[in-house]
Amino acid sequence: MTEPHPLLKVKDVTKSYFEDGKEFKILDLIRFELAEQDFVCVVGPSGSGKSTLLRILVGLEKPTSGEVLFEGQPIRADNPQVAMVFQSFALFPWLTVTQNVELGLEAQNVPLPARQARARKFIDAVGLTGFENAFPRELSGGMKQRVGIARALAIEPLLLCMDEPFSSLDPLTAQNLRDEILQLWSDPQLPPKAVLMVTHSIEEAVYLADRVIVLSSRPGRMVAELVIDLPRPRNRKEPEFYGWVDEIYSLIV
Amino acid sequence: MSNSGDDVGPPKRVTDFHSISKASVGQILGLVEAVDEAGGTADVATISSEVDMDIDRLGPILAAAEFLGLLEVEDGDVRMTDLSRKLLSASVRERKSIVRGIIDDLPVFRRVTEMARVAGRPLDRREIVDALAASVGSHQAEEVFKALVYWGRYVELVRYDSESELLSLRTPSK
Amino acid sequence: MRGRRRALRFVAGILVFAGIVAAIASPQAALKALQLPLFALFSTSRMVAAYLIGLVFAIAYGHTAATNRRAALIMLPILDVLQSIPILAFFPAALLFFVVTFQGSAIGIEFAVVFLIFTSMAWNMAFGVYESLTTIPQDLEAAGSSFGLTGWLRFRLLEFPAAIPKLVYNSILSWTNGWFFLVASEVFQVGSSKFARPGLGAFIADAGRNGDVASIAVGLGVLAAVVLALDFFVWRPLSVWSERFRMDTASGRELAKVPRYEPFRWMPRFPAVRRTIIARAHPATQAYHRASVRLDRAYASHPNVVRDVRVVDLGLFVIVLLLVVTTGLIGLGQLFLRPLPPEAVGLPWAALLSFSRLLLSYGIALGWTIPVAVVLGESERVSRYLTPALEIFASLPATALLPVILGFSLAVVGSTGGAAQLAAILIGLFSMQWYLLFNLVAGVRSIPQDLREAARSFGLRGRPYWRRLLLPAMTPSLLTGSITAWGAGWNALIVSEYIEYAQRPYTVTGLGSLINQAVLVTGDTEVLLLTILTMIVVVLAMNKLLWRPLLKRAAIRYRLEV
Ligand SMILES: Nc1ncnc2c1ncn2[C@@H]1O[C@H](COP(=O)(O)OP(=O)(O)O)[C@@H](O)[C@H]1O
Ligand SMILES: [Mg+2]
């Protein structure tokens, strides 16, 4: 009945902070759309407002002007169709792996048996079976982020938002987790329908994304929107791969 | 495979088990992937600069991967093995069961699971650490125990509750 | 562990034996001593009641201040003032209020006592909750919001757990304060009427008034035993448990700027007991789980209950505060409309004398605590043996030591006046020194081993070692310790400058004795009010003009980056 909306529509979002009456513009006229099956990365140098943009997109912060529509409706922070993965993992230190993963389900009042079954499924999907009753402090960094991912997937969101999810990990763990994310992404049985990821690593963006949105440094403006049509699995040694990386580099510098 | 009566080994093997306490699953898999991307064989210096980790940090991971039979190191060259090739093409679940095969064969791991099986009840952390201390010294016992719990949990053969500090056995879910 | 248990058993055996011998030697005293467990129970119940009220208040207040920025603008300064003024000075007024309201019944006095203890417990806990909630890492908050944690669920899963470490830490402080006030408040005289409720504090005070040394000793022993037992069975396990609620420093902001002292570290962590309990507690955890689920559901159907509780709680607080403030203002208005009473001229002099005595106590306290703290902080071995003894000694509130200190002073100094002076200074010392000592120990312990070794390897020894490393590193904790110590010192004035011992009063000139004179003898509310006012002005001035600026500078200059 309703005309089809894009999953996420970002309409001319601008964000400024005001200090002592002076305006500090962080984001300037960001506009793009996200459809199902999109894996989009936003790249930009540190301080270009990527985290701020993501927080606006999931409704944690209000834009100074412009708006964000999720399936045609203004976005809300507690929207159960959107889930978030954090750079610092943001796990609750006093909850076990299972309890952390159940967090969103508990908030949605999912009955206990269903909740446990769902948590088990996603803990298994990220390879954490065996660590169900461990506390975050007992896990390595990579495993902590797996919990973060399982917690996000457990609410079966349409859109998964990730803010530099691999930046606090060592390079090896990060690479391993990137590949596992792609494995999960390629499984049509599993949520989400679309991924929006923010990163400062151009290589990472080219390695993962179908589409890359490039932000300039302060204020963050959209410099380019590129479709990465490299076949998967991608090899970071190939010249085509490096062609893309170099192109984005030249756009930012 | 290895039999625990073979007496050249125990202290050395235990020390080796100690070596996998310095690396996580993710790091070892990441390293194997990096070697694979470099063409299946490369010298350590190249890998080190590829993955942007100095030898200090890479060393323990390399040692752990070698100990698990996932990489071969010779004259500063790193090579993939059949096992690691199999591992890379496997899914998250299958990877676990491959690593399970390796871990389950380690004498120290065997000894502890055997202890639990014979006792027929959950084992206290203290009991296990004491038993380990007898062979590796109390200095390393804690670390070995930690590694044991970490890997045991990962391959789903061990259940550990850090609240009650009790360790028990579990059957992997397929 | 086993050795320690045997030692405990040995000590218990000696105590029982000594008790039996004493009972045979003096059956009358034994009979009186039999009441002591009951007294201990009464006193502890008052503490528990005050603590529970304080806890609910602290959570409501801290939570509101942390989540409502506009409310915080008013709430934080109020809390700041409440925390720094000597509350004991208000006790006579509060007591009168309750006694009048309840027409002299025992209930009224009980309320007054509990209220006083509450006022000594609540503020720092409220600050603790506020600090914890405002330092929750941004990402953790965002995770809570984006996964839909709101209202009760957010409180149960995020906010309350995040506040637990500071709540437990501050609860321990609050209980120390509470004992000090309990002992001071179980017996109180206003004019010619004496108000007393049975309890340990009243027992010790009575014994002191009658000069009954044996009873004083027994009373103190029981008090120490109760305090230590609570530490042993409640606070030590709780503080071990609270460790798990600490934020990962990797993902959070820096937590404490000034190093903290963790009391009772020498007490066992009870790993075996804890493990057995947890292993057996499965039904209990299940029950808890079911209960919390039911609470969640109850909350879902009555979403306003939590808000209502908070509104009622804070509403009561606001009403009480308004009452106090308006009566205060009216009193002040009347005060300044009339010509000042002649006694007012003596106020500055009294303030100066009180301050000088406290300064002397503070100096003595610094003199011994700095070197001892360095030894305790640097030597694991000395600390292992000395810390328990010191902490046991510190567990006795200075108010309970009044009779002992006065007896001691009389024995040392011949003249009555001299003894009163010495006693006032010693009580000041006893209320101040422990805060200094334990904060300083934490300061010394926070010096990284590297820094220490670097200093040694460059040959820093003796004076340069102190001047270049120890003293600067101790500065922040010295300042926090000093602030708390002076707070306690000002409160101690009320009890230290006017002591009744063996049926006669020992007084020195000062603000504290003016307050006591006004309450006990003259009943002159004008002087009372003026004295309290003077005291508050002095205390606030000292905090704002001296301690806060110093602390701010020290925090920047002497912070040890690890
Ligand atoms: N609450 C705030 N008030 C003022 N400035 C802010 C606030 N939050 C972020 N900023 C500023 O916005 C800029 C962009 O921040 P951020 O979105 O974190 O960038 P990125 O994630 O790309 O590194 C930074 O320079 C930061 O200082
Ligand atoms: Mg960022």
Tell me the pLDDT tens digit for each residue of C130-139.
989 998 988 8
Query: Which chains contact B through at least 3 pairs of Cβ atoms less than 8 Å apart?
Result: A, C
For residue B98, is it within any domain?
no
Q: Locate tokens 């965002």: which residue?
A: C142
For residue C261, is it within any domain?
no
Closest alpha carbon to C43 in C274, C226, C218 = C226
CB contact under 8 A, C293 and A112: yes
φ and ψ at residue A145, rounded to 5 degrees: -70, -30
Residue closest by Cα to atom 27 of ligand 1: A47
Token pair for residue C108? Answer: 């009224």
Residue closest by Cα to atom 4 of ligand 1: A17
Mean pLDDT of chain B: 84
What is the greatest pairwise CA distance in chain B?
50
The tens digit of pLDDT for each residue in C484-533 reads 899 889 888 888 888 877 778 888 888 888 888 887 777 777 788 888 88
Mean pLDDT of chain C: 81
Interface test with B, best of C274, C275, C276, C278 (most B CBs within 10 A): C275
pLDDT value for A125? 92
In terms of residue numbers, what domain contains C486?
345-557
Pair B29, B77 in one domain:
yes
| Residue C306 confidence class, pLDDT cut points 50, 70, 90 | low
Pair C155, C222 in one domain:
yes
Percent of chain B with pLDDT strictly greater than 70: 90
Other Cβ atoms within 10 Å of C542 Cβ, number? 16
Can you give the three-state secondary structure of C13-50, one letter per residue? HHHHHHHHHHHHHCHHHHHHHHCHHHHHHHHHHHHHHH
For residues C189 and C206, the model is more confident at C206
**Cα–Cα distance for residue pair B26/B44, rounded to 1 Å:** 19
Kindly report which listed range (C80-84, C150-154, C279-283) carries the lowest average pLDDT score: C279-283
pLDDT value for C103? 77
Q: Locate tokens 């949990």: which residue?
A: B153
- Pocket lined around ligand 1, Cβ cut-off 6 Å: A 17, 26, 44, 46-52
CA A51-A56-A58 angle, to 5 degrees, is 100
B31 chain-A contacts, CB cut-off 8 A: 172
pLDDT value for B10? 39
| Distance between Cα A207 and ligand 2 center (Å) | 19
Which residue pairs, CB below 8 angstroms and at least 24 apart, start in B16-20?
B16/B67, B17/B106, B17/B108, B17/B109, B17/B144, B17/B147, B17/B148, B18/B136, B18/B140, B18/B143, B18/B144, B18/B147, B19/B60, B19/B63, B19/B64, B19/B67, B20/B64, B20/B67, B20/B68, B20/B147, B20/B151
ipTM over 0.85: yes
pLDDT value for B6? 42
The tens digit of pLDDT for each residue in C13-32 reads 777 777 777 777 777 766 77
pLDDT value for C356? 94
Pair B80, B128 in one domain:
no
> Chain B: residue nearest C281 by CA?
B164
Pair C125, C217 in one domain:
yes
Q: Which of C340, C358, C381 is the last residue in one of the domains?
A: C340
Sorted by sequence, the CB contacts under 8 Å of residue A253 that are 6+ apart come out as none
Pair C114, C186 in one domain:
yes
Interface test with B, best of A172, A175, A241 (most B CBs within 10 A): A172
Pair B74, B131 in one domain:
no
Which residue pairs, CB below 8 angstroms and at least 24 apart, start in C232-235?
C232/C264, C232/C267, C235/C168, C235/C171, C235/C172, C235/C175, C235/C263, C235/C264
Pair C91, C230 in one domain:
yes
**Cα–Cα distance for residue pair C317/C88, rounded to 1 Å:** 19
| Residue C167 confidence class, pLDDT cut points 50, 70, 90 | very high
> For chain B, what is the domain count?
2
For residue C159, is it within any domain?
yes
> Chain C: residue nearest A96 by CA?
C244
B54 inside 8 A of chain A by CB = no
- The residue extents of the domains of chain A are 6-81+193-252
Token pair for residue C538? Answer: 């002095």
The tens digit of pLDDT for each residue in A40-52 reads 999 999 889 999 9
For residue B94, is it within any domain?
no
| Distance between Cα A213 and ligand 2 center (Å) | 15
For residue B58, is it within any domain?
yes
Other Cβ atoms within 10 Å of C300 Cβ, number? 12
pLDDT value for C107? 85
Other Cβ atoms within 10 Å of C161 Cβ, number? 19
Closest alpha carbon to B121 in B159, B155, B147, B78 = B159
pLDDT value for A3? 59
In terms of residue numbers, what domain contains B63?
17-88
Query: Where does residue C19 rank: exposed (0-12), middle (13-18), buried (19+ CB within 10 A)?
Result: middle
E strand or H helix at A42: strand A39-43
For residue B82, is it within any domain?
yes
pLDDT value for C258? 60
Closest alpha carbon to B35 in B70, B9, B63, B10 = B70
Closest alpha carbon to C94 in C121, C115, C80, C73 = C115
CA C300 to chain centre: 38
Q: Which of B46, B62, B88 is the last residue in one of the domains?
A: B88
Mean pLDDT of A115-142: 92
Interface test with B, best of A176, A184, A189 (most B CBs within 10 A): A176
- Neighbouring-strand partners of residue C196: C187
Task: With H, G, I as helix, E, B as strand and everything else as coil, classify residue A60.
Answer: coil
Closest alpha carbon to C267 in C234, C225, C224 = C234
Pair C176, C325 in one domain:
no
Q: Locate tokens 């757990």: which residue?
A: C161
Mean pLDDT of B110-135: 90
Pair B24, B84 in one domain:
yes
C48 has pLDDT over 50:
yes
| Residue C256 confidence class, pLDDT cut points 50, 70, 90 | very low
Token pair for residue C326? Answer: 């308006």
Q: DSSP characters for C64-129?
A: HHHH-HHHHHHHHHHHHHHHHS-GGGGHHHHHHHHHHHTTT-HHHHHHHHHHHHHHHHHHHHHHHH
A155 chain-C contacts, CB cut-off 8 A: 147
Pair C102, C184 in one domain:
yes
* Strand A39-43 to A211-215 pairing: parallel
The alpha carbon of residue C125 is apart from the nearest alpha carbon of chain B, in Å, by 27
Kindly report which listed range (A117-126, C93-102, C249-258, C427-436) carries the lowest average pLDDT score: C249-258
Q: How many residues does chain A have?
A: 253
C237 chain-B contacts, CB cut-off 8 A: none
For residue B97, is it within any domain?
no
Q: Are C200 and C178 in contact (CB under 8 A)?
A: no
**Cα–Cα distance for residue pair C422/C429, rounded to 1 Å:** 10
C96 has pLDDT over 80:
no
A183 inside 8 A of chain B by CB = yes
For residue A6, the 8-state DSSP code is P
For residues A197 and B54, the model is more confident at A197
Pair C80, C159 in one domain:
yes
C396 has pLDDT over 90:
no
Sorted by sequence, the CB contacts under 8 Å of residue B8 that are 6+ apart come out as none
Mean pLDDT of C151-177: 90
For residue B121, is it within any domain?
yes
For residue B48, is it within any domain?
yes
Pair C323, C356 in one domain:
no
C414 has pLDDT over 60:
yes
What CATH number did the domain enclosing C216 receive? 1.10.3720.10
pLDDT value for C252? 39
What CATH number did the domain enclosing B61 receive? 1.10.10.10
pLDDT value for B136? 80
Q: Locate tokens 């110093």: which residue?
A: C550
For residue B5, is it within any domain?
no
pLDDT value for C251? 41
Using a CB cutoff of 5 Å, list residues around ligand 2, an ion.
A 51
- CATH code, A6-81+193-252: 3.40.50.300
B87 inside 8 A of chain A by CB = no
Residue closest by Cα to atom 2 of ligand 1: A17
- Neighbouring-strand partners of residue A41: A197, A212
Pair C359, C448 in one domain:
yes
| Residue B14 confidence class, pLDDT cut points 50, 70, 90 | very low
**Cα–Cα distance for residue pair B102/C557, rounded to 1 Å:** 54
Kindly report which listed range (A152-166, B23-37, C196-210) carries the lowest average pLDDT score: C196-210
Pair C368, C415 in one domain:
yes
Pair B80, B117 in one domain:
no
